[in-house]
Amino acid sequence: MLLQFPDEEPQPQKKTKLGHADLIYSNASSILTEGKGFMDGYDFTLNPYSGCSFGCNYCYAAFFATTKENMDNWGYWVKVKENALQLLIKFRKKPLKDKTIYLSSVTDPYQPIERELELTRNLLIELIKYHEIRLVIQTRSPLVTRDIDLFKQFKAIQVNMSVTTDDEEVRKAFEPLCPSNKIRIKAITEIHEAGINSCITMTPLLPIINADNFSKTLLATGIKKFIIQPFHPDKGKFIASTREDATKLIKELDWNTSKYEETLKIIQTYIPDVGIGKQGFAPI
């Protein structure tokens, strides 16, 4: 099934650096992309950035990078769409009533550069003006709690937090540049306690060490909505940065389809209605 991605930006205007990531600032030709392929449950996807400094080594978006160099360096570059807000403002003339927007499909809207630029926050402020839209936010960053004040102003919103494992060794092998899952759980608990519709997405579910304790930790958040999606180690698709560590750990833990199914059954004893699907995205 074909996956549609936002238009690539024109030639970059300037470059800087933040931490380990090169930042490229440029203008995009569009900001809302029609949801197609496995994103067809949404009317539009919205990506303030392309590339992602979290750089998960299994990320599907990496394999759609425009060059092999960008794919191999996934996690070490981010393109900032400087004109994203201006492009969104144009939709004031074309109301987005009853439309569902997914923020974001090929990047994390709350990756580290967002703390400095507040591009996602400014887009949210604009989206509040479009009454009756439905907004789904997907992230793995605790920075998302910064915008609770804005989330409360949406009539229909859901914040999804990716929580992928219960073990820091696993997290470091697959998501070396990401916040810990413990920090993510704390953040989504805060979102939930603020009265915001929340969901934990185990997408994909990486190797789990203790499924019983993991399930209890998830339930302790008070959240009622969970989505799970299998990780397919047999496909062997990893970007170059940490491929060795990830594949070694998969063998050591004997993480395969059978082990996933066994773990899933344990999780289902605690969370019987956990959502299972090819998308791994929870609708509002």
Strand 44-46 relative to strand 275-276, pairing: unpaired
* pLDDT lower than 70: segments of the chain: 1-13, 62-65, 232-245, 277-284
Q: What is the pLDDT at residue 45? A: 95
pLDDT digits (tens, 9 = 90+) for 104-134: 998 999 999 999 999 999 999 999 998 789 9
User: What pLDDT does residue 70 have?
Assistant: 75
Residue 245 has what pLDDT?
67
Residue 212, pLDDT score: 98
Give, for 130, the enclosing helix (H) or strand (E): none
Query: Which pair of structure tokens corresponds to residue 31?
Result: 């900001």
pLDDT at 284: 61
pLDDT of residue 10: 46
Closest CA to 59 of 10, 111, 23: 111
pTM for this one? 0.88
Q: What is the pLDDT of residue 4?
A: 40
Contact between 127 and 135 under an 8 Å Cβ cutoff? The reply is yes
The per-residue pLDDT for 271 is 97
Sequence-distant (6+) residues with CB within 8 A of 149 are none
pLDDT of amino acid 12 = 45
pLDDT for position 235: 53
Q: Which domains does the chain have, with CATH numbers?
A: 14-276 (3.80.30)
> What's the confidence (pLDDT) of residue 76?
82
Phi and psi torsions of 182, nearest 5°: -60, -45
237 token code pair: 């698709």
pLDDT at residue 2, as a whole number: 34
pLDDT at 1: 33
